[in-house]
Copies of this chain bind each other. A is one copy, B any other.
Amino acid sequence: MISTDALRELLPEGRVFDDPDVLAAHSRDRATFCPAGTPAALVRAYDTDDVAAVLKWAHENRVPVVPQGARSGLSGAANALDGCVLLSLEKMDAILDIDPDEQLAVVQPGVVNGVLAAAVAEKGLFYPPDPGSRSISTIGGNVSTNAGGMCCVKYGVTGDFVRGLEVVLADGRVMRTGRRTAKGVAGYDLTRLMVGAEGTLGVVTEVTVALRPASAQPLTAVAFFPEVAGSARTVSGYLAEGYQPSVLEFMDASSVKAVQQIADLGFPEGMAAMLLVQSDRGADAPADLAAFERVARAMGAAEVVVSDSAAEGEMLMQARRLVGDAHEKLGKALLIDDVCVPRRHLVDLVEGLQRIAEEHRVQVLCSGHAGDGNMHPVVAFDDGDADETARAQKAFDAIMQLGLDLGGTITGEHGIGQLKREWLGHELDEAGLWASRAIKAALDPHNVLNPTRVLP
């Protein structure tokens, strides 16, 4: 066990915590079924020097370090390891610069996504990446998982907006990657290597993000389908026609019902699926939504509502955002999956989920970013029942296998973390695993940065 005294000597006062209750309160992110170890200490970093001092010390003393943001992740990447230092970046939460001329912002990793989005909106700018956790998750965490969200279908994911980083390497050296300019190809893309690495290759201490001009106020439509297949076909059919919605989301009957129990939006009953679409193309948006209605009805939609009010549109978006909370209120344990498939296989995915639910006798709810083919099937089960729990875990695995079988990926936006690391070996080939391990060993030779995460 490490001595926290050594850490205290390295750092300014008030940075190091070892009270067992404090440690226990910080030992987990939001992944279920991910074991968490007992940390030796929690360090709250207030600046890059703090981070560098911790990593230099950890590197020299071979102590595992688990970087943490808001611990809102869903893959266990921020769970404690036995004897580790939890390195919290939450207090590094300053927005250092918002530059409207260059359309970029420079932030510390602890800035909450929604706080940044609101701050740039005040200057007429737009930070698109909008994970479902945006009200609580941090930019550092978003970068480390390459987080997605609802806007990705048009605007791309977190990594598409990261221009440069300050990263502390495993041995405590500070590295600047990337650039502030719109373009740049000087050397290897160390920025993108760090994005999505879940804290295993370095600790992000500053992020330069690209912004966009504010988009037009979106128009919103919803469509309800008596058959799930019709909704999936609507997604692929609409996009294949060349439309570029800013949001295109799916909710199955169970998800709609769960949301209705929190906020009754008067959705029709007896429907199997709902799609929610937005267009932010200004004068072209009404035509975009009219086309959506045409496609949806051709694919069997029983009801399509095109909203002409921004307030109503926002209310419908809130309903979509409530899905996570609504699922949690079911009173069951949840295993949240994150497969992404080619859009033409959305039908096969949703039909496959029904088979998996039946075969393993568990409930599988589903919502997701249908426009990207990125769905979040959720296995809901009674975790007091060992047999049902075992079946739930089998269903969870079967969903990943289904995603792979359909030419997709086991994770569209949540990351590998601890939850899916054994599955990474199913998705990557041998050479890819070798290259990943070689890079990890080269940049973190003593394996102190979030060891046992990501790589199987």
Seen from chain A, the residues whose Cβ lies within 8 Å of a Cβ on chain B are 100-103, 124, 145-146, 148, 152-153, 156-157, 159-160, 169, 173-177, 179-190, 192-193, 195-197, 201, 212-214, 236, 239-240, 242-244, 282-284, 340-344, 369, 371-374, 407-416, 420, 424, 427-432, 434-436, 438-439, 441-443, 454-455
Tell whether, in the assembled complex, residue B196 and residue A193 are in contact, meaning their CB atoms are under 8 Å apart.
Answer: no
| Cβ contacts under 8 Å, A175 to chain B | 429, 431-432, 435
Tell whether, in the assembled complex, residue B190 and residue A103 are in contact, meaning their CB atoms are under 8 Å apart.
Answer: no
| Cβ contacts under 8 Å, A189 to chain B | 146, 159, 189, 192-193, 195-196
Tell whether, in the assembled complex, residue B342 and residue A439 are in contact, meaning their CB atoms are under 8 Å apart.
Answer: no
What is the total number of copies of this protein in its complex? 2
| Cβ contacts under 8 Å, A197 to chain B | 188
User: Given A103-B239, A282-B284, 12 other A-B contacts at CB below 8 A?
Assistant: A152-B182, A152-B183, A153-B182, A159-B192, A177-B432, A179-B409, A182-B340, A182-B374, A186-B420, A190-B435, A283-B283, A283-B284
How near does chain B come to A233, taking the closest CB pair, in angstroms? 11
Tell whether, in the assembled complex, residue B190 and residue A432 are in contact, meaning their CB atoms are under 8 Å apart.
Answer: yes
Instruction: Provide the bound-state CA to CA distance between A250 and B159, in Å.
Output: 29
| Cβ contacts under 8 Å, A214 to chain B | 242
Tell whether, in the assembled complex, residue A186 and residue B436 are in contact, meaning their CB atoms are under 8 Å apart.
Answer: no
| Cβ contacts under 8 Å, A169 to chain B | 431, 435
How near does chain B come to A328, taking the closest CB pair, in angstroms? 23
Tell whether, in the assembled complex, residue A342 and residue B188 are in contact, meaning their CB atoms are under 8 Å apart.
Answer: no
Given contacts A180-B407, A436-B190, contact A185 B431 (CB under 8 A): no
Given contacts A214-B242, A443-B435, contact A196 B190 (CB under 8 A): no
Determine which of B176, B439, B442 lies in contact with A429 in the assembled complex, contact meaning CB atoms within 8 Å: B176
Tell whether, in the assembled complex, residue B157 and residue A160 are in contact, meaning their CB atoms are under 8 Å apart.
Answer: no
Tell whether, in the assembled complex, residue A412 and residue B184 are in contact, meaning their CB atoms are under 8 Å apart.
Answer: yes
3 residue pairs, one from A and one from B, having the closest CB atoms: A213-B242, A175-B431, A192-B192
| Cβ contacts under 8 Å, A240 to chain B | 100-101
How near does chain B come to A234, taking the closest CB pair, in angstroms? 13
Determine which of B188, B436, B454 lies in contact with A196 in the assembled complex, contact meaning CB atoms within 8 Å: B188
Tell whether, in the assembled complex, residue A187 and residue B432 are in contact, meaning their CB atoms are under 8 Å apart.
Answer: yes
How near does chain B come to A365, taking the closest CB pair, in angstroms? 20
| Cβ contacts under 8 Å, A282 to chain B | 284
| Cβ contacts under 8 Å, A413 to chain B | 183, 185
Instruction: Provide the bound-state CA to CA distance between A213 and B438, in Å.
Output: 38
Tell whether, in the assembled complex, residue B187 and residue A454 are in contact, meaning their CB atoms are under 8 Å apart.
Answer: yes
| Cβ contacts under 8 Å, A124 to chain B | 242
| Cβ contacts under 8 Å, A236 to chain B | 101
Instruction: Provide the bound-state CA to CA distance between A195 and B214, in Å.
Output: 30
Instruction: Provide the bound-state CA to CA distance between A453 and B24, in Å.
Output: 50
Instruction: Provide the bound-state CA to CA distance between A201 and B187, in Å.
Output: 12
